[in-house]
Amino acid sequence: MNTGNSKNVLLVVLVAIVSSIVTVFGYNAISKNNSDKAGSGLSGGIVSEDVRGYANTFEQDKNVVLTNLTTAEGYPDFTEAASKSVDGVVHVKTTTVTQQQYINPFDFFFGFGDRMPSQPREQVGYGSGVIISKDGYIITNNHVVANAREVSVTLNDNREFVAKVVGTDTQSDIALIKIEGENLPYLTFGNSDALKVGEWVLAVGNPFNLTSTVTAGIVSAKNRGNVMGGELGIQSFIQIDAAVNPGNSGGALVNTRGELVGINTAIYSQTGSFAGYAFAVPISIAGKVASDLKEYGSVQRALLGIMAPNIEEVRRHDPDKARELSLIKGVVVEGFGDRSAAKAAGIQKGDIITAINNTPVHNFAELQNQLNRYRPGNKVNVTVDRNGNSRSFTVELTNDEGSTEITKGTSAINTLGAKFKQIPDEKKRSLGISSGIEVESVESNGLLRKEGINKGFIIMRINNTAVNSESDITNIVTATNNSQDKVLLVAGFYPPNGRTQYIAIDLTNRR
């Protein structure tokens, strides 16, 4: 080997060694930086906008995503994202039993007599769900599983499982259910904040009971409010034009990397079928709700404690003022709640909130989108415009009771303060009832006892839904606890010949 070649070889070796050292040190520095960010968590201090700890709740592996793919012609390639997504999206079947009342004609014409025995009617519903952990946690819509007596899940490989409802939230229309399995295929959380209008997305679900259906479209708008007439508690939906139909509810909205960025929830249609507009709950909100339901049994909502003008309401009475408000880039603080975290931090009436943790907010929907990812006790930096000057305040968010405490949900049985036992079919026939469960015992300070329901009482229906087991009661109470009207209407009687009683139980009247 000549001297020139030796020098060249030595130079190559030195370059390789130096490159390796730089790579190792660079990797360690990046890893340390990422580790520091991940370790900041969501409790205490200013919550980093880069930290989304909800995936950690479900032990999702990091970096299990695809790169953006294109065809040879340069067009987006959805095949890999679709292939990855269909295995993580499931078919959800629910069974609900309702009672169909028949009125005794004597009661109708002469004002006496009694209702004839009610007839149970079984209803079967279908929807979709998204597996978000290898051990079987699944996100779906609340309206898919609401008041369901039985929930079953079918995977893309046709395996069937019985699912347990972990928790539901009517305000976001998100529910968390669980099947027992190991190493199940699941979708990893993406960054719904990073979605851009015009970006390609896929909707994966089971429209019209057709399993494993993938449709493509673009993001039509973000932070869309007044969906479903504003009935839902969140007003920051992702609007898409991918075809979504009945049965898609609870399914996945994924980006071209195969990441879960939303849960398909609603369509805008005058016919009940797809008409060009569909809406998904961003995963920044749905993931947080699911995490709360798993960890605490109820959703932890963080509030600033401010009142903001409703532009649509103002427009009905004062169009000029509404036009003026719509030009403001931010949220006007019109007033404060009885106990306000914002007021305690120094924010004043008339201030215009322009950013949360340096993320700009242009309207109330965007403000709500930011707040929905935090919990009571988290501290956020709120930027306001006060008479043309920008000011920042650190606000410790509170719950709806004005406290920074995390509230844990209790089981339905504990809420009612009672034990129940199932009634054999033979005894039901002798009592002339089609559904019912017997109160086995009550606690002296329980809600049932407070409303006069004691041992031996037969509960036939709650909120006009038949009950035959403790799980039926659990599902109904859980759904009611997460609704705005937290009242149970119990229909039952004392055997053998007691009259039917209708008793209202206010779930907010806790022990």
Which position among 249, 284, 340, 434 bears the catalytic label?
249
Which position among 85, 91, 133, 143 bears the catalytic label?
143
Residue 485 is a catalytic residue: no
In angstroms, the CA 40 to CA 341 distance is 23
Residue 10, judged by CB atoms within 10 A of its CB (0-12, 13-18, 19+), counts as exposed
In angstroms, the CA 325 to CA 317 distance is 13
Q: Which amino acid is present at 167? A: G
Q: Residue 205 forms beta bridges with which residues?
A: 213
Which position among 173, 292, 351, 385 bears the catalytic label?
173
Residue 91 is a catalytic residue: no
DSSP output for 442-470 = E-TTSHHHHTT--TT-EEEEETTEE--SH
In angstroms, the CA 112 to CA 209 distance is 46
In angstroms, the CA 114 to CA 104 distance is 6
Query: Is the Cβ–Cβ distance between 442 and 455 less than 8 Å?
Result: yes
In angstroms, the CA 437 to CA 110 distance is 32
Alpha helices in 178-307 (DSSP H): 283-296
289's CB contacts (< 8 A; 6+ apart) are 169, 172, 174, 176, 299
357: left (phi over 0), alpha (psi -120 to 50) or beta: left
In angstroms, the CA 180 to CA 161 distance is 8
Residue 355 Cα distances to 124, 219, 331, angstroms = 45, 23, 9
In angstroms, the CA 167 to CA 267 distance is 24
Residue 430 is a catalytic residue: no
Residue the block writes with tokens 């609870």:
250
DSSP output for 16-45 = HHHHHHHHHHHHHHHHHHHHHHHHT-SSSS
Residue the block writes with tokens 């215009």:
352
Tokens of 103: 């009125």
Catalytic residues: 143, 173, 249
